[in-house]
Amino acid sequence: MAQAYMTETGSGGSGPERPKSRLRSMFTGWRNDRGIWRRGLVMAALAILLTLVMLLHGRIPNSVGNLGSLLETFMPWFGLLIPVLLVGGFLRKSATALIALILPLVIWLNLFGGLITDKSGGKGDLTVATHNVNAENSDPAGTARELAASGAQIVALEELTARAVPEYEKALAGAYRYHAVRGTVGLWSKYPLTSTKTVDLKLGWVRAMRSTVLTPHGDVGVYVAHLPSVRVKVDAGFTAGQRDTSAQALGTAIRLEKLKEVVLLGDLNGTMNDRSLSPVTAQMRSTQGAAGDGFGFSWPAAFPMARIDQIMIRGVQPVSSWTLGETGSDHLPIAASLRL
């Protein structure tokens, strides 16, 4: 019996071929296969097209359905196409396709590789958080408790309703002595607020505000904003006209800000890659990009696909940035630690 077993499975027998042997034989076959350069030309062309889209995304026009902004919003996900094409290249035994994949891989890593690593570290002077609480949130009090538990000294809320504001005020009163609400946005703070005013987003109703927060480390100009929503429609494409107009107005307000240390909290309904937000992003930087761990996607809460909620800074050093757990909203709250 022992001899029979050895004959069947031993190294000298005729048992299953080992993985290393299969891999070696596969590449040996490739080396002798002259067709490896002629096969997979379609996949190679797709790899080059993917490269061009990522490399030249800024040249894709917005004149037709805001196509450029739509692609820029979800561009980090383009990286998923690379392993798909990689598997296809192996299945087709195409050296041409595999070599062509180096191009999109290098471009993707150049654009988003920095978001993969954890850049957080140290302890900041001020922790801030922002959350689109959702007008249809059925548990405002529970959402408020989650935010207070984050330890943030400053909390911004967007998409407030007149009915829900008293509930948020009551739930947050114990943790935050100072607060101000303007229209559908609000700011809660452990430190005094002064010079609070609305910011005109050219909409006809109030969705942004500005306040000076008197922190122990100096005065900070804090903006809370909720830019208009965007939609993807078959007949109209990426409808973002109102949002783009409001981004221009918000960018102008921030440019005129006199304080050196500025923080923007809010739902901008767009990512840092979206060129239409350049009036804001050109003069501020994202805490997630500078001190985050991962992409920090915030929407939709059930399966986050994009970071459209932002904490942006000017004249402030980010220490860390992270996403909080789910609440009763369709957005995830986000927070950041800052050094003033």
pLDDT band at 149 (very low <50, low <70, confident <90, very high): very high
Residue 28 above 70 pLDDT? no
Share of the chain above pLDDT 90, in %: 76
In a domain, 259, yes or no: yes
- 237 plus 315 within the same structural domain: yes
Q: Which residue has the higher pLDDT, 297 or 34?
A: 297
**What CATH number is attached to the domain comprising 161?**
3.60.10.10
In a domain, 34, yes or no: yes
207: containing domain = 126-339
String of DSSP letters for 212-258: EEEETTEEEEEEEEEPPP-EEETTTEEE-HHHHHHHHHHHHHHHT--
Lowest mean pLDDT among 18-32, 95-109, 140-154: 18-32
In a domain, 275, yes or no: yes
Judged by DSSP in three states, 79 sits in: helix
Residues 71, 7: Cα–Cα separation, whole Å: 59
Residues 265, 133: Cα–Cα separation, whole Å: 13
- Residue 178, exposed/middle/buried by CB under 10 A (0-12, 13-18, 19+)? middle
Note the helical H segments in the chain. Answer: 2-9, 19-31, 41-55, 67-73, 81-91, 95-100, 102-112, 140-148, 165-172, 241-255, 278-281, 287-291
Residues 6+ apart with CB under 8 A from 163: none
**Tokens linked to 15:** 């048992």
- 108 plus 130 within the same structural domain: no
pLDDT band at 2 (very low <50, low <70, confident <90, very high): very low
Residues 24, 13: Cα–Cα separation, whole Å: 19
- 111 plus 130 within the same structural domain: no
- 135 plus 109 within the same structural domain: no
CA nearest 226: which of 214, 238, 209? 209
Lowest mean pLDDT among 23-37, 131-145, 163-177: 23-37
Are the CB atoms for 197 and 185 separated by under 8 Å? Answer: no
Number of DSSP helices (H) and strands (E) in the chain, helices first: 12, 14
Q: Among residues 82, 115, 148, which one ends one of the domains?
A: 115
Are the CB atoms for 90 and 98 separated by under 8 Å? Answer: yes
- 103 plus 241 within the same structural domain: no
Residues 6+ apart with CB under 8 A from 209: 180, 182, 183, 185, 186, 187, 196, 197, 198, 199, 223, 224, 225
- 177 plus 254 within the same structural domain: yes
The three-point CA angle 16-17-19 to 5° equals 120
pLDDT band at 229 (very low <50, low <70, confident <90, very high): confident
In a domain, 171, yes or no: yes
* H or E stretch covering 126: strand 126-132
Residue 21 above 70 pLDDT? no
- Give me the pLDDT at residue 147, please: 97
Global pTM?
A: 0.86
Residues 326, 131: Cα–Cα separation, whole Å: 11
Q: Among residues 115, 137, 153, which one ends one of the domains?
A: 115
Q: How many distinct structural domains can be found in the chain?
A: 2
CA nearest 157: which of 288, 176, 54, 192? 176
- 23 plus 70 within the same structural domain: yes
In a domain, 121, yes or no: no
- 218 plus 333 within the same structural domain: yes
- 72 plus 156 within the same structural domain: no
Lowest mean pLDDT among 88-97, 156-165, 214-223, 225-234: 225-234
- 166 plus 107 within the same structural domain: no
Residues 6+ apart with CB under 8 A from 42: none
Sign for the pseudo-dihedral over CA of 42, 57, 312, 112: positive
Residues 44, 85: Cα–Cα separation, whole Å: 8
- Give me the pLDDT at residue 15, please: 53
Residue 197 above 90 pLDDT? yes
CA distances from 276 to 44, 70, 73, 171 (A): 32, 10, 10, 36
Q: What is the residue whose two structure tokens read 């452990």?
A: 190
Mean pLDDT over 248-259 rounds to: 98
Q: Among residues 92, 115, 138, which one ends one of the domains?
A: 115
- Residue 231, exposed/middle/buried by CB under 10 A (0-12, 13-18, 19+)? exposed
In a domain, 49, yes or no: yes
In a domain, 67, yes or no: yes
- 162 plus 70 within the same structural domain: no
In a domain, 120, yes or no: no
Taking residue 42's Cβ as centre, other Cβ atoms within 10 Å add up to 12
Q: What is the residue whose two structure tokens read 């350069």?
A: 37
- 130 plus 102 within the same structural domain: no
Are the CB atoms for 332 and 304 separated by under 8 Å? Answer: yes
